[in-house]
Amino acid sequence: MTNAGIVSRGLAALVDMLVVLVTMGLLYLGLALTTLVVNPTAFRFPAPNLIFSTAVTAVVSVLYLTACWTLSGRTVGAILFGIRVVGRSAERLGVAVAIVRAVACVLFPIGLLWVAFDRQRRSIQDIALGSRVGYDRPSQVAPVR
């Protein structure tokens, strides 16, 4: 499996960010609707503070990335750009490694830029945790539906 470069991984990360943002939007909508149902007379759109929103976004991102990497090694962005996160010997990431990698990616996203300079196209997180991101092309054989 050839390691994927900065363009594929960067675009996949952008798509994943979009997924997290949409999820956050849905969560906010759910919160607003719950507030409306519980207390319809004094309803106001909830205005969570910045720290709270940032913390929830970080938690949602970590949960999303961990779940995707442990279940299939592919997030939505990874599926779109045909890449896959695997362990050192191309196995799926374990939960612990996936959580640490997700936290590292969320807190230190700039580490992805190292992919462009590393000869083996590894990010800082990949170097630290021994993971790798390779091209995953089963769709060339089976049509995507």
Partner 1 sequence: MPWERLPVIGGLLYATRVEAGRAGIAAVTRVTELVLDQIDLTALVRERVDIDAIVADVDIDAIIARIDLIGLADQIIDGVDLPAIIRDSTGTVTAEVMTDVRSQTARADDVVSGFVDRMLGRTPQPQEPE
Binding positions for partner 1, rule: CB under 8 A:
1-8, 11, 80-82, 116-117, 119, 121, 135, 137, 139-140, 143-145
| Alpha-carbon distances of 109 from 37, 48, 104, rounded to whole Å | 38, 24, 7
**Is residue 1 a contact partner of residue 136, using CB atoms and an 8 Å limit?**
yes
Token digits of residue 39: 């207390």
Beta carbon nearer to partner 1, 1 or 22: 1
Beta-carbon count within 10 A of 21 CB: 13
Element (H, E) at 134: strand 132-135
In angstroms, give the least distance from the CB of 126 to partner 1.
15
Nearer to partner 1, 51 or 144 (CB): 144
Nearest to partner 1 of 15, 67 (CB atom) = 15
User: DSSP code of 3?
Assistant: B
Kindly give, in sequence order, each residue whose CB lies less than 8 Å from that of residue 81, ignoring residues fewer than 6 positions away.
4, 8, 9, 11, 12, 15
Q: Which CB sits closer to partner 1, 76 or 99? A: 76
Smallest gap from Cβ 117 to partner 1, in A, equals 6
Q: How far is the CB of 62 from partner 1 (least distance, A)?
A: 25
- State the minimum distance, in angstroms, from the CB of residue 120 to partner 1: 8
